[in-house]
Copies of this chain bind each other. A is one copy, B any other.
Amino acid sequence: MTATCEQPLVLHKEKVLALKDAIELLSGKWKFCILLNLYNYGTLRFKDLQETSVGITPKVLSKELQELEENQLITRTVNNTKPVTVSYALTPHATEIQPVINALVEFGLKHRMKIKGTPS
């Protein structure tokens, strides 16, 4: 063990768990895509999400929505229209994700500059 310097980022066990939780919850190909669409449009039906999340299949969309609902990030509302429509919207708790998105975007932009040398 060749420890040299001790930097100020020592995470306690609970914080490491929190980190794991957050990563696990937000990882995957579609999570942020769905969340961003809901941020932008406020409320979207299943069909809408299928169209705005370009390339997603109903099976995968359904699974992702269930997962997000279980984690209380979105609400699912069945409207009595004919045929039945279902509306999805963000919960107040979902706004807590915004700092994560901002941090990821900022890092991603800097990283692109560093790696690919292109500002966009």
Contact = CB atoms under 8 A, between A and B. Distances in A.
A57 interface: no
Contacts of A9: 36, 39-40, 98, 101
Interface string A60-104: 000000000001100000000000000100000100111111111
B18 A23 contact: no
A42 B7 contact: yes
Contact of A4 (B42, B103, B114): B42
A7 B98 CA distance: 12
A92 B54 CA distance: 37
Interface of A is mostly: helix
Interface residues of A, number: 58
Interface of A: 1-7, 9-11, 14-23, 25-27, 32, 36, 39-45, 48, 51, 71-72, 87, 93, 96-112, 114-115, 120
For the complex of A and B, 4 pairs with smallest distance between CB atoms: A18-B108, A22-B108, A4-B42, A103-B103
Given A40-B7, A42-B3, A110-B96, A19 B101 contact: yes
